[in-house]
Chain A
Amino acid sequence: MARYGMLIDTTRCIGCYACRIACQNQNHLPADVSLIDFHEFERGAQPCVRVETVPTQCMHCEDAPCQAVCPTAATYTDPDGIVRIDSEKCIGCKYCMAACPYQARVVDHRTGVVGKCRFCTLYAPLEEGMSTCLTACPAGVRMFGDLDDPESDISKRIVETNAQPIAGDLTKSKIYYVR
């Protein structure tokens, strides 16, 4: 099986939020439910100011704390390494929200289900016109693929750029950042 992951190159990110809106459109989310958050860092003083925008979302952790605390096993990891939610099992207890170190779990107030990114961009090659965080980005910030395949573009790029999970090996996250 594959072990899917994502690379986010913040050196290309202009902080435009296009990924957030693309994700909302693709996944039929209302305006006030977003699966992607943004953290802006300003460094240096004039005239050498640099701005870094770091988009965050579900990190698809191999040691997923949200899954560990879920009392109904609504949060589970599929064989491809994607952390998923069975919305029929979710009772809306929000333990997962408390457990997630990345604050990536989001209540959908329409259903009470505590959702998150589910790597929908996996299906983009199969489906015409998918507007996802990856496909919609005008700056090509994101890359997606199989981390277990050393020949995949993402694996090569992680090596080239020494990309790292945002919190080291805290949860064995499968999103790697170039910063």
Chain B
Amino acid sequence: MPSSALTRRSFFAAGAAAGAAVAFGGVGVGGRRSEAFAWGEDHVVEYAATTCDGCGNKCGMGAWTQDGALWRFMGLEDHPFAHGHLCVRGLGYTAVAYSEDRLTTPLKNDGQGNFSAVSWDEAIVDIAARIKEAEPSRVALFQDSRATDQYYTQRFMNALGSANYYTDTVLTDMDILTGITNILGVFPAPHAEGSKYIVLLDKSYYEGVRPAETEEVIRVRENGGKVVVVDPRLPSIGALADEWVCVRPGFELAFLLGVMGHLLNNDLYDKAFVEANGTGFEAFAESVRSYDAAWASGKTGIPEAKIAEIAEGLAAAAPHCYVDMQWAGTVGSGYRNSAETVRCIILLNAMLGNFNQEGGWVFPLGPWVDDSAFDPTVFKPVGYPQSYAIGAGVHPLAYMYANDCQAAMAAAAEGALDVALFFGSNPLADYPQAAMTAQDVEKIGFKVVVDSFMTETAKTADYVLPETTYLERRGIVGTATAPATVATLRNPVIDQVHPETKPTYRIIVDLAEACGLGEYFSFTLDQLNETYCAAYGVSYDALKSDGLAPIPGCELEFGNVPAFATKSGKIEFACEAYATGGMSAVPAWIEPAVSASGESLRLITGDQVFQSKTYTMASDKLAQLAKDFEADRVWMATSRAAELGIEDGDVVELSNDSGSVQAKVRVTGRIHPDAVYLPPHYGCESEEIRAAFGFGASHKALVTRQAEPESGSGMLQEVLVNVKKVGA
């Protein structure tokens, strides 16, 4: 626990010593005791630096407690994603620790859906017996994209001899991972700070922008730079942009091809850069030259002149400009043409020559850690499973290190899984086609859910194991890659709230021991963290007290060309992997799978700025925010609503073959007329999560389980719904 115990009085004394009291002369400390909402005096205030868990970014977070209870939170100044701020979900998600709906003890299902408390020993022995009985290839483990304690969960599956380890990559970043690994072999990040022209593409899917990005975008404009949002829906951060260019959903690829064609046809690209660093540029240019601003205008609905203007704006600002590639968004999993869209984002940035340039795309240096960092007498080598994961090999362009959770569900429907372990993963709420997913999960012989809450999936499990929250535990040393990459560590902020809960890594160790695999987990969390610290060249003590530490040798030098770890060692403007994967070696237009007309509209989605998936709704603060501002409404464009006789506040039914839901309409100019937007956070069906239960409609009830043939991406926005006014 943090050791810097200070009382409020000593805080004030420290403040006075620093001279702050002079600036605020005359402010008395007394007299506030009887004020409404006053925080009291003479309390013990403690501080811990840790990481947030509101999404997968794991921003550095400072947390203050008062008399041992959570109090307030701020982003860490030196964390590259935070710059001293947390986003709203990070501030509000902290409320889960004290939720009255927390799971407090292991629970066993009597087979009729009634749960009763059991001891950890009984639960672990029983679960281990079922795991040992099963063929390893018929056991699967699922995590959400935060992948808590992944070192342990993956190692457990490897020790067991099963490759069936799943996160939700096909529903988020599959096409981005595919694109980067094949075309660049090195991971880019935007350098907003020094940019003169930024195109924010599809930001609406992931509104929870990194807090530092908000400040950076403001600075770009203050410095005379331009920020253009290209999106079928105007996102929150759009309020800071120069303009919003409303693109027809599913046609972002056409916009990119139009911009690239315009650059090619007008000799506006960085010839020296592509010649020195690219391969296959001639074949690329021959294909892309046939697309121009006029063609793209016809597809996207964006005026031709605007597309040309953006292309020329980028070219004029190059190399201090970029087209953003939003992780966790539809860019990586939205449409039939998402793999091609991602490829074009990457290659357009390459054409601008912005790699490792100020205000362009930078390639942060991360520390390289391989097996040699791990002492084999402590970390017994575990090997890798001999068989492939269920679902592997179906999609030739799939990123090889991410398994396909949708394929696992489809296999479960055929009875392929005897045991499934869900760690913080809630497929019944978060995977497409909720009704079908529920049926498929039902067919899994034996299910264990590890979570802090009784989720929809937990209610179907044979055992539910209570997990401690992120605020009550230490984590595994990680990294935040940026121009100056840092190591990060989650540290405990408060004592465990419920004594019977356990962190994920502890549950894995217990399970491994009971399965006879304890030899692979004979190390402590501290030993694992010490190993990472040694490999990164950082101090574990520093990470415990500061939550982060700069990694020596991982500071980016601008102007360097990154080392492209591709087959050719160059930027692959023409890429053989795409050709063998069923696409063209060079970019080409691919039509989206569905098109909107009349009452049949494209269903689009995307995180709201204060939510993530469905799990943040367990925070009463974030749930109340959603309720106060009716965040569960379905968005419909003003023009479309008028055409269909729908008014703001009307209740509509959205339906298709997958299901039907009702929602109140928000008529707005912030969305393309072809689309309706339904947030993915609501419609909780577990009455045991009281903050969330009964509010809003389930987006996943309407989404088809489907896959881009080449990459396996979930095509989450290739969905049509019929929209009908209720009571009309």
Contact = CB atoms under 8 A, between A and B. Distances in A.
Contacts of B388: none
B364 interface: no
Contacts of A131: 72-74, 91
Interface string A109-136: 0010111101000110111111100011
- A18, A80, A115 — which one has the most chain B CB atoms within 10 A of its CB? A18
A164 B236 CA distance: 24
A135 B23 contact: no
B71 interface: yes
A13 B236 CA distance: 9
Contact of B625 (A21, A27, A85, A138): A21
Contacts of B680: none
A22 interface: yes
Nearest to A15: B236
Nearest to B213: A138
B15 interface: yes
B434 to A, nearest CB: 27
A24 B39 contact: no
B26 A16 contact: no
A31 B623 contact: yes
A139 B214 contact: yes
B550 interface: no
A129 B215 contact: no
Contacts of B237: 14
A17 B88 contact: yes
B238 interface: yes
A126 B15 contact: yes
Given A47-B245, A118-B35, A136-B86, A24 B621 contact: yes
A25 B628 contact: no
Nearest to B37: A27
Given A47-B246, A125-B15, A139-B218, A31 B95 contact: yes
B150 to A, nearest CB: 28
A2 interface: yes
A127 B14 CA distance: 8
Contacts of A53: 239
B362 to A, nearest CB: 21
Contacts of A30: 620
A15 B670 CA distance: 14
A84 interface: yes
Contacts of A15: 236, 239, 609
A29 B628 contact: no
Contact of B11 (A18, A51, A128): A128
Nearest to A45: B669
A85 B610 contact: no
B87 A129 contact: no
Contact of B88 (A18, A126, A129): A18
Given A12-B240, A118-B37, A125 B64 contact: no
A92 to B, nearest CB: 11
A82 to B, nearest CB: 10
A160 interface: no
Nearest to A126: B15
Interface in B636-687: 637-639, 668-670
B35 A18 contact: no
Contacts of A137: 85
Contacts of A29: 37
B629 interface: yes
A46 B88 contact: no
A139 B240 contact: yes
B23 A125 contact: yes
A137 B64 CA distance: 18
Interface range, A side: 35 or more
B453 interface: no
A148 B625 CA distance: 36
A79 B28 CA distance: 11
B12 A86 contact: no
B264 to A, nearest CB: 26
Contact of B669 (A26, A49, A79): A49
B46 to A, nearest CB: 11
Contacts of A88: 34
Nearest to A131: B72
Contact of A38 (B39, B92, B218, B629): B629
A138 B12 contact: no
A42 B238 CA distance: 12
Given A31-B620, A127-B11, A17 B610 contact: yes
A87 to B, nearest CB: 4
Nearest to A32: B624
Contact of B670 (A31, A35, A51, A122): A51
A150 interface: no
A125 B72 contact: no
Interface string B4-40: 0000100110111000110110110000001111110
A15 B85 CA distance: 15
Given A15-B239, A138-B85, A129 B214 contact: no
Contact of A87 (B11, B36, B47): B36
Nearest to B239: A14
A174 interface: no
Interface string A21-65: 110111111111011001000101111111111000000000000
Given A42-B670, A127-B15, A128-B11, A86 B34 contact: yes
A16 B208 CA distance: 9
A142 interface: no
A27 B71 CA distance: 9
Contacts of B243: 48
Given A108-B37, A118-B37, A139-B214, A80 B72 contact: no
Given A14-B236, A17-B609, A118 B36 contact: yes
A18 B87 contact: yes
A115 B36 CA distance: 6
Can you list the 6 inter-chain pairs with the closest CB atoms, starting with the nearest? A126-B15, A115-B36, A131-B72, A138-B85, A31-B624, A31-B620
Interface of A: 1-2, 12-18, 20-22, 24-32, 34-35, 38, 42, 44-53, 79-80, 84-88, 90, 108, 111, 113-116, 118, 122-123, 125-131, 135-140
Given A34-B628, A118-B35, 10 more contacts: A25-B72, A108-B37, A114-B36, A115-B37, A123-B27, A128-B11, A128-B14, A129-B74, A131-B91, A138-B211
24 contacts: A12-B240, A14-B214, A14-B240, A16-B87, A21-B91, A25-B72, A25-B73, A26-B71, A28-B39, A30-B620, A31-B95, A42-B669, A42-B670, A46-B639, A49-B244, A51-B234, A87-B38, A90-B36, A122-B27, A128-B14, A131-B73, A136-B91, A137-B85, A138-B211
